[in-house]
Structure 1
């Protein structure tokens, strides 16, 4: 049965950042999963952008522009950050190495964190009103662990996380075929395909809801207002509440 009541997500912008360790044009299994999610988004009218971070000369560090810290080059402030800022949805796609997120993923999270004190046009932290998600690939254990690290980091700096935003594929535990290898069965795995589809639509629904609402309501979370002394009825130690709870 075909659902004729298909939502319209046109007007949304999604950015996938592929944190593979392989430079282009090397085959990336992570990119294959990105492509499956991106295809669904494009079918629903979403403007999709994809970055393979290792192809760009992004410096390591936690400042907005590492050239100011002595690095000779840094693609982050001029090439990457404007695309992050323009996106309604950011998907961090990471391979698994030794049960952990890859080094490029960690670099990305550090650079995202460097911008978290920036503010949006409502005076909130820059990532408020944006949806975050993760895609994980590998041929060893660690999918939920790696997704948890990414999703925690994204929500901590202000992204909103949709339900089940952690699709991925790991195959059998230990060395073995990767997602795109002919014998892997990865692209035919129903659990992965379902998880990827559900995550994609959940992210689209949440981003659409936030966009229609104008983002997260700007009450109780405006940086300048707090610095001016506004506390929105917060009291450090309400009367009758002892220090031991």
Structure 2
């Protein structure tokens, strides 16, 4: 394996922590392990801690057109459009994704009707993954929600596209706390490594073949009457 295989790929990782910089984010610790692995393989990585930005809530591409004074999302979305890999990361609160993580899902959805150069929905050709931290149960619940959301808007989800760390069930130390065992946890480290390579492999495959083939999935052609061979089921007597 050489870095040339992944050279030129770009990844954007959203950190849905509720802690503003420069405060310690345990999610950022887990992100850092995936980021370092990607960068060692030639991938350009940008991590966006959403709570540090004035990203308005809502489901429209620019919320300043819907009553908000400021909205950094349009500029951030330009970086998303340029990325091959998109990872949603965040903490667990009350067994679910954080409000910041959910806000990014909603803002990604706000652009889901945009199209790429092939006329497909804009997230076609990107791959998605999820990273979750916490000190109680909920990793699988949170990643189910995130991976479903990413595929629904058009991302490809490779096999084993999630990883997380929660420690023992019940309140306890968080990932970066001294003695937590998080950074040394073999199960977490294995899953994070597999996820990272699967994301890079799938992103390189899609890039090298020019994305998802643009047949049977171009919305404007459907609106124009093309049905790509689909025949509606006939009513039965």
Give runs of aligned pairs for residues 208-227 of structure 1, distance below 5 A: 208-227=204-223
Q: Tell me which of 26, 32, 47 is aligned to 1:35.
A: 32
**How many angstroms apart in 2 are the aligned matches of 1:46 and 1:156?**
25
Identify the residue that residue 186 of structure 2 maps to in structure 1. 190
Give runs of aligned pairs for residues 32-181 of structure 1, distance below 5 A: 32-78=29-75, 80-181=76-177
Structure 1, unaligned stretches of length 5 or more? none
Identify the residue that residue 202 of structure 2 maps to in structure 1. 206
**How many angstroms apart in 1 are the aligned matches of 2:152 and 2:210?**
21
Helix, strand or coil for the counterpart of 1:141? coil
Structure 2, unaligned stretches of length 5 or more? none
Deviations 1:193-215 (Å, cap 9, x if unpaired)? Answer: 00000000000000000001100
TM-score, structure 2 as length reference? 0.97
Deviations 1:37-57 (Å, cap 9, x if unpaired)? Answer: 010100111111110011000
Q: CA deviation at 1:121?
A: 0.3
Identify the residue that residue 236 of structure 2 maps to in structure 1. 242
Q: CA deviation at 1:6?
A: 3.4
**How many angstroms apart in 1 are the aligned matches of 2:209 and 2:9?**
13
**How many angstroms apart in 2 are the aligned matches of 1:81 and 1:54?**
16
Helix, strand or coil for the counterpart of 1:167? strand
What CA RMSD, in Å, does the superposition of the two structures yield over aligned residues?
A: 1.1
TM-score, structure 1 as length reference? 0.94
Q: CA deviation at 1:242?
A: 3.0
**How many angstroms apart in 2 are the aligned matches of 1:161 and 1:168?**
17
Question: Structure 1 runs of 4+ off > 2 angstroms?
Answer: 5-8
